[in-house]
């Protein structure tokens, strides 16, 4: 999947109100970011590299597997496939967001 496909897929999942209540950034190992502003009303999803309360570092392949529910977020974290910086509480809401 490309960054554009990731962005549109996540935008659809987030909708107008994700109940995330925070900012979250996925920083891809290959370059590029996907930013979710769960504080904005309506919520926004874009590719601008802005400061976020939580940053998830992940490869595009692993992110694709997460979106497809083929990779469990907790398993990905425990095995080092994703690295989390910042507010871990925001990261814990991801299962709900992508469920």
- What pLDDT is recorded for position 74? 86
Compute and round to an integer the Cα radius of gyration of the chain: 12
Helices (H) and strands (E) in the chain, counts: 5, 5
- Domain of 25, CATH number, reads 3.30.1050.10
| pTM attached to this predicted model | 0.92
* CB neighbours of residue 8 within 10 Å: 12
62 close to 93: Cβ distance less than 8 angstroms: no
The domain tally of the chain equals 1
Q: Has residue 73 got a pLDDT over 90?
A: no
* Confidence at residue 98, expressed as pLDDT on a 0 to 100 scale: 64
Asked whether residue 83 carries a pLDDT value surpassing 80, the answer given is yes
Model confidence pLDDT, tens digit, residues 18-68: 888 999 999 999 999 999 999 999 999 999 999 999 999 999 999 999 999
C-alpha to C-alpha distance for 15 and 88, rounded to whole angstroms: 22
Per the structure, the complete domain to which residue 69 belongs is given by 3-97
């Amino acid at each position: 999947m490309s960054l554009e496909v990731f962005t549109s897929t996540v935008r659809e999942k987030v909708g107008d109100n994700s109940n995330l209540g925070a900012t979250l950034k996925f920083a891809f190992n290959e370059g590029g970011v996907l930013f979710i502003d769960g504080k904005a009303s309506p919520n926004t999803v874009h590719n601008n590299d802005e400061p976020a309360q939580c940053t998830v570092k992940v490869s595009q392949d692993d992110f694709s597997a997460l979106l497809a529910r083929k990779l469990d977020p907790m398993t990905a974290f425990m095995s080092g496939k994703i690295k989390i910086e910042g507010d871990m509480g925001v990261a814990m809401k991801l299962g709900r967001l992508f469920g």
